[in-house]
Chains A and B, each alone.
Chain A
Amino acid sequence: MFSAIWSTLVGLLIEDGQLAIGALFALAITWGVAYSGGDQGREVSGWVLLAIVLVLVVANLYRAGVTARARVSSARR
Chain B
Amino acid sequence: MDPIALAIHATPAFIASAVEFVEATTIVLAVGVTRGWRAPLIGTVAATATLAVIIATLGVAIVTIVPEQLLKGVVGALLLLFGLRWLRKAVLRFAGIVAIHDEELIYQRELAELRAQGIQRTEFDWIGFLVAYKAVLLEGTEVAFIVIAFGAAGGIALTAATAGAIAAGIFVIALGIALKKPLTMVPENWLKFGVGAMLCSFGVFWFAEALGMEWPGDALSIPLIVAAFLAASGLAIRMLRALLPQGARVEARNV
B250, A72: Cβ atoms closer than 8 Å: yes
A20, B250: Cβ atoms closer than 8 Å: no
For residue A34, which residues in chain B have a CB less than 8 angstroms away from its CB? 208, 211-213
Q: Does B77 contact A (CB under 8 A)?
A: yes
Q: Which of B197-249 contact A (CB under 8 A)?
A: 200, 204-205, 207-209, 211-215, 221, 225, 228-229, 232-233, 235-236, 239-240, 243-245, 248
CB contact between B84 and one of A1, A16, A46, A69 (< 8 Å): that residue: A16
B204, A12: Cβ atoms closer than 8 Å: no
For residue A44, which residues in chain B have a CB less than 8 angstroms away from its CB? 213
Quick one: CB contact mask for B64-86 with A, threshold 8 Å, 1 for yes? 00000000000001001110110
CB distance from A12 to the nearest CB of B (A): 6
Across chains A and B, the number of contacting residue pairs, with CB separation under 8 Å, is 128
For residue B205, which residues in chain A have a CB less than 8 angstroms away from its CB? 46
For residue A20, which residues in chain B have a CB less than 8 angstroms away from its CB? 81, 84-85
For residue A60, which residues in chain B have a CB less than 8 angstroms away from its CB? 88
B208, A46: Cβ atoms closer than 8 Å: yes
B211, A42: Cβ atoms closer than 8 Å: yes
Number of interface residues of B (CB under 8 A): 45
Interface residues of A: mostly helix, strand, loop or mixed? helix
| Chain A residues near B (Cβ < 8 Å) | 1, 4, 11-12, 15-16, 19-20, 23-24, 27, 30-31, 34-35, 42-46, 49-50, 53-54, 56-58, 60-62, 64-69, 71-72
List the 7 closest pairs (A to B, CB-CB), nearest first: A46-B208, A34-B211, A65-B243, A61-B236, A64-B255, A42-B212, A72-B248
| Chain B residues near A (Cβ < 8 Å) | 77, 80-82, 84-85, 87-88, 91-92, 95, 97, 137-138, 141, 200, 204-205, 207-209, 211-215, 221, 225, 228-229, 232-233, 235-236, 239-240, 243-245, 248, 250, 252-255
